[in-house]
Amino acid sequence: MLGALGIGAIAAFALAPSAASALDRTLSIVAPWEIGSTDPSKSGYVFTRLEVAETLLDADDSGQPRPALAASWTVSDDRLTWRFRLRDGVRFHDGTPMTAEAAAASLRHALGKPGPLKQAPVAAIDADGGEIVIRLSEPFGPLPATLAHNSTLILAPAAYAENGQVTQVIGTGPYRIERLEPPQRLVAARFPDYWGAKPAVERIGFLAAGRGETRALMAESGDADIVFTLDPASQKRLRGNRKLQVHAVPIPRTVALKVNAGHPFLQDVRAREALSLTIDRAGIAAAILRTPDAAAGQLLPPSLPEWHVAGLPPLGRDIARASALLAELGWTKGADGILERGGQPFRLTLRTFPDRPELPLIATAIQDQARAAGIDLRVSIGNSSDVPAGHRDGTLELALMARNFALIPDPLATLLEDFGPEGGDWGAMGWTEPRMAAVLAELRDATDPARRAELRRQAVTLLQAGLPVIPVARYQQTAAVSKRVEGFTIDPFERSYRISSLRWAP
Amino acid sequence: MIVKAVGHRLLQAVLVALAVGVLTFLLTGMLPGDMAFRIAAGRYGYDHVTAAAAEAVRAELGLDRPAAMALGHWLWDLLRFDLGDSLVSGDPVVEEIAHQLGHSARLALTAILLSTLLGLPLGILAGLRPGGLVDRASLVLATALRAVPQFVVGILLILLVAVGLGALPVAGHDSAAHGLLPALTLALGMAAVSSRVTRDATLAVVRSPYYAFARTKGLPERAAFLRHGLRNIGVPVLAYQGVQLVYLIEGVVVVETLFAWPGIGHALVHAVIARDVPMIQGTALVMGLTFVLLNGLVDLACAAIDPRRAQA
Amino acid sequence: MRDSLLNGRRMTGLAVLAAVAAFAWAVPLLAGADPNRQNLTAILAAPSWAEPLGTDHLGRSMLARLAAALRLSLSLALLGVLSAAVPGVLLGIAAGWRGGWVDRGLGVLADTVLALPGLLLVLLLTALAPGTLWTLYVGIALVLWVEYFRVVRATTRTLAGSPQIEASRLLGFGPAYILRRHLWPEIAPVVLTLAAFGAATAILAIAALGFVSVGVRPPTAELGLMMTELLPYYDEAPWVLLQPILAVFLLVLSLNLLAGSRKP
């Protein structure tokens, strides 16, 4: 009797929720990032990656801007007025046409919220016929790249409430949201009136799963068609799975130590160099990241060929040289093996955060390796905001971070933010290098390609010599893809999951 | 009597609401780190949390208000059933909790159901034949299950049932099938204990004089058990379910994380990390009140099964 | 049917617990390996003479880490349970003995604490000083004391009106005598059972907090954290992952056996 009651109840329960799995041919995508909000400034990346919403411009695999919602663009001779001609015949998901007024309004909303556009010297954004006119207060080369950032995506006027909050995501992309359940679930179907080529996959389901092991198991069981961000151990296991294909592409994200160069222990560049010499990058790459070529010998990766200086001697490990440099600075080994100077032990706090699970691991590895040279690091694992907050109140000593140098597809914008005259929340701290400021300032305005290449080389060389941040390792974007799906590629700028170019295997 | 019991639970509910409000205000006020930076990290992610973003958050939310004033506002709004807006997403807390509580309740109900289906028959069988095979086997199983952390049980279930057999999905929350593995993970832990409670209750009933009398007066075994046994076993078992609710409401955090289930425990963890005070208060309040409500229901159910308790 | 204080099952539990504790405290004396010393060229090594339990994903000695983690779990659980039991028992006796407004006031307090999500308390406390042990310990004690209070109060209240205690009182014995002679023998076994269950709960709770990265932080060796960190290697090096699982299993099992058959 009780059993029958139970079975009845389970059956009744089973009927209650909507059975989305019954809809055939839904491409299921799993990634770690949650959908925090409908607002592009907070969760825009989800909507551009799933191709629900689009930006004025896009970027190709080398980061060069290319047309998206804007078909073409021009800049005035004084480099202060940019005009973007919009594509014709684009419709929002609510059926209304995308007008220049609507697009300009979206950009003005983005300008009012934190994000890369706010950091550009924008004076005004207006609609003029079929064009958007952006007036700057001073020249800013990376503007096209800024307009490719997901926080600047274009939504229909009906998407915004009166106070500027985005209440629903009404974009222009090839997929239209059917169901949005923050923080973890999104289902979207093909949008029939899309302006571009019609995608082959008719429906997509996105699930945010925070734990790496859950994601790996979902790939293994065939629950998910595409699983992004595999932990190193699972990657190895999934490569042996016949039903899956594992993709890995280097992305312009570098694990680096942010150094307080104003700290008495770290003021001298030789101290920073010594710290860098203690780090076993090859060991970290091979043992923790399990990608031997992930060791970072300079800050910017080879995948950004414009910003990678091939001839630069790579940073490496040399404990003897580190010890010698520290001895030059007056540090002597104490009884417990820790260096001392004037009665003070060489003890620093290394902050990091668990949002990327390998960061705490790398931090403990660095802690162990620095000890070999007598540097005592205390690892403090907190919140990502501890890094900018510590930068501002001056308490930060060292921080291990994973910095994306292509937040917008042009790394110059990130470098300007990180290594400007006053340093940056995620860049230099207490580091004074007037040449760097001059180089970046010139780079911002220069147009001659040869001169720009020379300036980039100078900037990278200055960073390698001064070590305001110490590069450690590089990231790869990884994905396990079911063989049911064909045509998969990874966007090295993580702007899109490129679902619209996928098709089902016959 | 029932009026008094209900009154007692109401008082408890009011006190819980007050305690949640005061505690969260006191503790969140003491938490280290700049709240604006924390909220900015929760909103914009680690790539975009900068001092500029934190300043924008501070200006938008007016974080410089004194704590006492904020507490007063919260209590006043609570009286009007308004829990405010999430500082991170900007959506009303009530909406977010409704979504998450719904998922958690689905999970919890399935877990209770499964644990009853597993634990009750096993416990009764064991209690009817103390020292028998079922009793010994279920004791070993229960002892072992209680000594394994929940997430290990969950991973094992995923490996065996989802990856090995391909019988159920690994994670997600679309269909009823998605709910079974996380619910089973919770249910196994609960059944491990409730089967033993049932076993002891059954044993006590079977050895009691009234049960012996029922059988000597000639009732067949089955009728004696159904009429005199089950009801008396019900009370301690049901009362124990009330105790287990705490475990359920809180044990879900681990299970929710593992199975990518958007529940209330998950929400609370994230709210604390992001210093989303209205969300912390809202989720804690809902959790506390759910506990009081369910325990009240358990009280009433016990009274209904055993009329003597209602008069006691 | 009260369990005798030292039946076979309890003895087994005590023996296992003692063995685990002996392992935890003997390892650092015998093999002085540093639980945080890494060797990235020898990760996930199988057990050998040099490393009897193998190495973890950062090439650290599993023997040293396991012992350190067991010491942490045992100390934290013991301390937390003690700090919960002492006020819980004292307040329980006070409430049960005095009755009246003391009883009512404390009862209301206990009811409120019970209904407050313990998770909230622990989360907020651990957020006060992330990664520190004292917050975990205070959290455990704050959540656990209510149980002692409720049980001891109920026991005391039944006993307070009993003829034996009446008799002692009439004979002019003071509260200290009555407490020692009549109350304590009744309360002690219950408290022991609660303490063992509480310690088991605490150990599992600390492990679970490690899993959602709220509790102890790396590189500290803690059983839950070790399981979480080693989980991805379940296929590659199952013997390493099994060690912390087995350690928690033995600890909790022995404590549950020690507690007796079930909760009072």
Give the residue extent of every domain in chain B.
Answer: 1-87, 94-310
Got the DSSP string for B63-122? TTS-HHHHHHHHHHHHHTT---B-TTT-SBHHHHHHHHHHHHHHHHHHHHHHHHHHHHHH
C47 touches chain A (CB under 8 A): no
Token pair 């001891």 is found at C152
Residue A3 has pLDDT above 60, yes or no: no
Indicate if the pLDDT at residue A83 is higher than 90: yes
Put simply, the answer to whether C261 touches B200 (Cβ < 8 Å) is yes
Looking at the DSSP assignment, which residues form a beta bridge with residue A54?
Answer: A154
| More confident of the two residues C3 and C63 | C63
Question: Nearest chain A Cα to B272, which residue?
Answer: A383
Does the predicted TM-score (pTM) go above 0.75?
yes
A288 touches chain C (CB under 8 A): yes
CA–CA distances in Å: residue C249 to residues A337, B275, C44: 38, 35, 22
pLDDT (tens digit per residue) in C11-57: 888 999 999 999 999 988 887 778 888 888 888 988 998 888 999 99
Residue A8: the pLDDT is: 45
Contacts 24+ apart (CB under 8 A), C183-187: C183/C93, C183/C155, C183/C156, C183/C159, C186/C155, C186/C159, C187/C89, C187/C93, C187/C152, C187/C155, C187/C156
Which residues does chain C have within 8 Å of residue B250's beta carbon, measured at their own beta carbons?
Answer: 117-119
Tell me the nearest-neighbour CA distance from A282 into chain C, angstroms. 10
Is A152 a residue whose pLDDT tops 90? yes
Residue C6 has pLDDT above 80, yes or no: no
Query: Domains along chain A?
Result: 27-208 (3.40.190.10), 252-475 (3.10.105.10)
Closest CA to A68 of A150, A186, A133: A150
The per-residue pLDDT of chain B, averaged, comes to 83
A394 falls in which pLDDT band (50, 70, 90)?
very high
The confidence score (pLDDT) of residue C261 equals 56
Question: How confident is the model at residue A264, as a pLDDT?
Answer: 95
pLDDT mean over A251-269: 95
Band (C158; pLDDT cuts 50, 70, 90)? confident
Q: At CB < 8 Å, which residues of chain C contact B? A: 108, 111-121, 123-125, 127-130, 200, 204, 207-208, 211-212, 214, 224, 227-228, 231, 234, 245, 248-253, 256-257, 261-262
A: neighbours with 3+ CB pairs under 8 Å?
A: B, C
- Which span out of A132-146, B127-141, B228-242 was modeled with the highest average pLDDT? A132-146
Tens digit of each residue's pLDDT (9 = 90 or more) over B210-235 = 877 877 777 777 777 777 777 778 77
Chain A CA closest to residue B173? A185
Q: Would you say residue A9 has pLDDT above 60? A: no
Q: How far is CA A78 from the centre of its chain?
A: 32
**Bridge partners, residue A131, by sequence:** A85, A128
β-strand pairing of A226-228 with A469-482: antiparallel
Summarised one tens digit per residue, pLDDT across range B130-144 is 888 988 898 889 888
pLDDT score of B215: 76
Highest mean pLDDT of the ranges A282-296, B62-76, C205-219: A282-296
Of the CATH numbers 3.40.50.880, 1.10.287.3240, 2.102.10.10, 1.10.3720.10, which one belongs to the domain with range B94-310?
Answer: 1.10.3720.10
Mean pLDDT, rounded, of chain A: 90
DSSP for A203-256, written as a single string: EEEEEE---HHHHHHHHHHTS-SEEE---HHHHHHHHT-TTEEEEEEEEEEEEE
User: Does residue B20 or residue A252 have the better pLDDT?
Assistant: A252
Query: Element (H or E) spanning A440, and its range?
Result: helix A434-445
pLDDT at C262 over 60: no
- Tell me the residue ranges of DSSP E strands in A16-110: 26-31, 57-59, 65-67, 70-75, 81-86
Percent of chain A with pLDDT over 70: 95
Q: Tell me: pLDDT of C58 over 60.
A: yes
